[in-house]
Every structure is written in C-alpha cells, then in structure tokens.
Amino acid sequence: MVTVFETRSEKAFVSTITVILILLSVVALIPLLSVIATSLSSKSAVDMNLVTLWPKQFTLDSWSYIVDRPDLWRSFALTLVTTVVGTVLALLLTALLAYPLSKSKNEFRWGAVLMIGVVIAMIFKAPIVPYFLTVREIGLYDNPLVLIVPHLLNPFNLIIMRTFFKQFSKELEEAAFLEGCGYFRMLFQFVLPLSKAVLATLALFYGVVLWNQFQHPLLFLQNPDWFPLQIKIRQFITDDNVIMSGAVSTADLNYNERTLRATTVLFAIIPIIAVYPFLQKYFVKGAMIGSVKG
Amino acid sequence: MAIPGIVFLIVFKYIPLAGAVIAFQDFSVFKGFTDSPWVGFKHFETLIDHPDFARVFGNTLMLGFLKLALVFPVPVLLALMINEIRKSALKKGVQTALYIPHFLSWVIVSGIVFDFFSLSGLFNIVIGWFGYDPTLVMQESGYFRIVYVITAIWRDAGWGTVVYMAAISAIDPQLYESAMIDGASKTRQIRHITFPLLLPTVLVLFLLEIGNFLDLGFDHVFNLLTPMTYSVGDILDTYVFRTGIQQAQYSFATAVGLFQSVIGFILVFVFNKLSKKVSDGGLW
C-alpha cells in the first residue's frame, strides 16, 4: 500500500513540475508573441489598444516599410560580413596560440609562463578609459575594423581550445614529425580537421559576440555609414525621427512608430531564430566544456 | 606561431591594464602615458567627495545585491525542475524556449521590453482590464530595479541551467537506485542527493558571481535607461562612459573604473577564503 501511495504522489509531483515549467516557457515567449502581433497589425488597431497576442486588422505594411529601408540592409550586410570574417579570423588566431600552449614543457619552453599571462588577461579587466585610449591610439577610432579586430581572441575560448588540443596523442605527432612535417602543417593538416566539434562551438561563441556587439561601435564609431545592426536598431527604437524618416507624408499610413519598432526588433531576431535549431547542440556542448574548465 | 596571439594580448589586454596608471596622473592626450604629471590619489579623493559618486555607487551596489539575491538562485531551481521531466521531447522543448532569449542582444531585449510596457502595449492593456490606469513603467524610477531583475532572469536564467544540468547528469545513478530501494521519495532524493551534490558547482559559480558583483552589464543597463530613471539606474559603468568617454575626463573616470576592479578583486578574495573555511570548495 505504501509504495502505491508513494508512486501516486510522486507522479503528481512530477506532473506539477512539468506543468509549471510549460507555463514558464509560455510566459517567457509572451513578450515575443506580443511584438509579433504588433508588427502585423494596423496602426488604428494598435492605437485603439486592440492588439494583445494576435494581430488585429492584419497588414504587412510595417514589414514592407522596414524591408524597404536601404540603411537597415546596409547595417545588416555590414554586420553579416564582420561576423563571418571576424569568426574565421578569431578561430585562426585562437588556434595559433592554443596549439603551442597545448604542448608540454619539453616542446614549448615558454608555455607555462604564457599560460599564466593568459589567465591574468582573463581575470583582470582593464578600466574602459585606458582601453578606449589604447584602441584609439592604434588607429581603430571611427574605423570599421574596430568591429572585428578587438574580438579576435578571447582568453576563455583560448583555454577551451587548448584543453581540447591536449587530448591528441603524442605518438601520432611524433610519427608525423619524423616524416618531416612541421608544426604549421601539423596544425592545419592534422589537428584542426580533427577538432571540428570545438571549432564549431567556439565559432558560435565568437559569432554571437560579433553579431550582438554594441559597446565597441558605441565607443568607437561616429560615421553612420559604419553603424552595425545593433546600433542601427537602437536608433530605430529610440528615435522616432530616424524610424519615420522614410515615410511618405500622407495621413492614412497603415503603420506608426510602434508597429515599425516592433518590426525592426523582429527583423533582427529572425536570423537568430533561423540558425538556432541547427546550432543548439554546439552551444550546449560548448557551455559544458567551458564549465568543466572554468 | 604564438606571436600574433601574444601581440593581441599585449595590445588589447596588457597595455590598457597598464594604462590604468592614468588614474594617478592628470592625463593629457598630448603628453601621453609617460609625460603626464603624477598627482597621486587626487582623483580618488575627488571621487569620494563627489555627490554623484555616492549615488552611482549606491545604485550599483543595490542592483548588484538584487541580482545576487533574486537572479542567481533561479537557474539552480530551474535545473532541479527540468531534471524531473521524464518525456525527453518535452524536456527539449522547454529547454529551447528558455535558452533562446540568451542569444538576443540587449538592444533587442530592451526593444521588446519598451514595446511591452508602452502606453498601448500588452502590459497596459492587461492592467486596463482590471481597471488600473495606464503606467509608463520604463519612465518611472520606482520600477527600474524590478525591470532590471526581470529582464536579467528572462534573458539568462534559462541558459544558466546548462552548467547545472551538466553537473546533475554527472551524478552516479546508483545513488538514486539505492535511495529508491530504501523507499526515499522524489522530494527526499532531491533534498538529500541531487541538491548536496550540486552544491559545489553552485558555490563556484557563486564566487565567480561575487567577483562580478559590480559588473552589472553595460549593455543591459544602458539600453534600459531613460532620462527619467537616471536617479536609480545610473551605475558605475554608465557613469564612466559618460564622464570618461563623452566628457573626456580620462583620469577621473579611470579612477572610478580602477576603484570598481579593486572592490571586485577584494570581494572574490574574501569570499574565497570564507568558502574554504566552511567547505573544501574554492576558486583556488
């Protein structure tokens, strides 16, 4: 009797938790649903407080307006290019340092010292002003390269890659060295092709930072031609003049600032939602590698 | 092979770190790091007496404390709950829904939040059903802190479970089997097996969080701020940005930044000592 009672109450316990979690997931998605509904509703429906979680007086006018903004597409293209180029270069730079650091003391004498240097760089964060002055001094002020160069090496990601490289067997490498293979060939022909898992994970980590970056362009970029997507979106959602600047001045517009803001936000979310399902397993794997080390 | 990476670390990490010495100088761009006159602790003295500083530092402490008390425990609870779901498809769905916000930038999150709380937004429509007058939540200083906490949870609590889920999956299943043979219920298993074995991970993450106590996320706060919420939402990071970058008071703002780093370091150090005393865990 006791066991039956136990399992029954346990079932109730598990299903209560399951229900709570499903509710939480739904609640987490409500703000998103509300934004979607707003972006697909007409100006008058929004002004009359009719729109909650479902579009009212359905219209694609906000979308066609946003999709027709060339300045938004320019920022989008710029961000896409800097993200892709930046990610590739970041993986390269990280691998070039992680590989020697994965070697033993006999092979790379300065490894231990360098490793301490990396850890110090990870723990101590420089105050923002000297950082700003340094980066400006090397010519990256108002230079679109600032969207790429400062992000090319992250000490935390470096340590993840080094840990991964350490598992490769020494015997294989020694055999290759006897054949006259150098360290560079070793890295590019043997090590990297066998490291796809960690490369994918770190590509995502670097990619998300590059795509979502806000502080660097805010600090360093003045010329609106080089504004990346996040700065552009920030302008759109905080400055009604910017977002409405392409509107024809007729009274019967089917959109207003609010529907356009909602559409802008979604415009920026869609690429992330689109790639997310393909990448989720790498994200999770990477976070776990990181947690074991960190 | 290592040279490009070393150059990067020197230029983007070590020179700015060494450049923190301008906190003890009257730095001028024309004279540079080396020739600017040394002034000792002058800027730190100005800082302590500055009325802005007390307000900004107080805001930072308050938000840091709220984050630690209200945001930090959420992923632990969520992970314990997610772990109890049996159907793996459902588990995956829940995890996906809770992870996604983490990949949205704070610009986007603030866009969603401002829309949600706007006059004709969902929040005001719903409170209207219950007869309340519309409130501009984002423009009132009284609500800033709670909005900060809720957005922090909304964006990152789900993602925060990943580490804990990994720690839970590493627990030996035999422990649960023998507990079940002894007739321990689910709740008792959580209380006496899962939670105690999760505690070391919680402790390490807690220590890391303490080290970041004053680091509230520039993007997060900056994007949620409006002129009407400055009195409670202006924090060290946003203050340094305004005084140091926009008003070019380089030495003064560096002093503020250095003060922030030193406090963070002391906090980690002290709490690491404490945690070693009460348990074996610690960061080093």
* Inter-chain CB proximity A261 and B114 less than 8 Å: yes
Contact call for residues A143 and A268 (beta carbons, < 8 A): no
Structure confidence by residue, pLDDT tens digits, A108-128: 888 889 999 998 888 788 899
- Asked if the C-beta of A276 comes within 8 angstroms of chain B's C-beta atoms, the answer is yes
Query: Nearest by CB to B103, which of A117, A133, A208?
Result: A208
Q: How confident is the model at residue A1 (pLDDT cuts 50, 70, 90)?
A: very low
How much of chain B, in percent, has pLDDT values that exceed 70?
98
- Within-domain flag for B129: yes
Structure confidence by residue, pLDDT tens digits, A172-209: 777 777 878 888 888 998 889 988 888 988 998 899 99
Q: Is the model's pLDDT at A290 over the cut of 70?
A: no
Q: How far apart are CA A210 and CA A231, in angstroms?
A: 13
Q: Which domain holds residue B106?
A: 37-278
Q: What are residue B25's DSSP bridge partners?
A: B38
- Within-domain flag for B19: no
- Within-domain flag for B250: yes
Chain A residues lying within 8 Å of B6, measured CB to CB: 97, 114, 117
Query: Cα distance from B58 to chain A (closest Cα, Å)?
Result: 19
What domain count does chain B have? 1
Q: How confident is the model at residue A288 (pLDDT cuts 50, 70, 90)?
A: low
Q: How far apart are CA A225 and CA A227, in angstroms?
A: 6
ipTM of this complex prediction, to 2 decimal places: 0.88
- Asked if the C-beta of A45 comes within 8 angstroms of chain B's C-beta atoms, the answer is no
**Region B241-267 average pLDDT:** 91
Q: How far apart are CA A280 and CA A137, in angstroms?
A: 39
Cα–Cα nearest to B91, from B77, B79, B103: B79
User: In chain A, whose CA is at the least distance from the CA of B108?
Assistant: A265
Q: Which of B10, B86, B118, B120 to mutate to test the interface with A (most CBs of A within 10 A)?
A: B120
The overall average pLDDT reported for chain A is 87
Query: Cα distance from A92 to chain B (closest Cα, Å)?
Result: 10
| Cα dist from A207 to A38, A127, A134, B276, whole Å | 29, 25, 24, 37
Give residue B241's pLDDT.
Answer: 94
- Within-domain flag for B193: yes
Structure confidence by residue, pLDDT tens digits, A6-43: 577 788 888 899 999 999 999 888 999 999 999 999 98
Rounded to the nearest 10°, the torsion over CA B17, B22, B24, B26 is 180
> At B70, which CATH number?
1.10.3720.10
**Range scoring the smallest mean pLDDT among A17-21, A147-151, A175-179, B20-24:** A175-179
Query: Cα distance from B163 to chain A (closest Cα, Å)?
Result: 6
- Within-domain flag for B62: yes
Query: Nearest by CB to B94, which of A22, A47, A100?
Result: A22
Give residue A248's pLDDT.
Answer: 66
Cα–Cα nearest to B253, from A216, A135, A133: A133
- Within-domain flag for B1: no
The overall average pLDDT reported for chain B is 90
- Asked if the C-beta of A130 comes within 8 angstroms of chain B's C-beta atoms, the answer is yes
Q: How far apart are CA B201 and CA A268, in angstroms?
A: 35
- Within-domain flag for B196: yes
Give residue A213's pLDDT.
Answer: 95
Q: How far apart are CA B21 and CA A126, in angstroms?
A: 11
In chain A, the domains with their CATH numbers are: 2-67+246-293 (no CATH), 70-225 (1.10.3720.10)
- Within-domain flag for B4: no
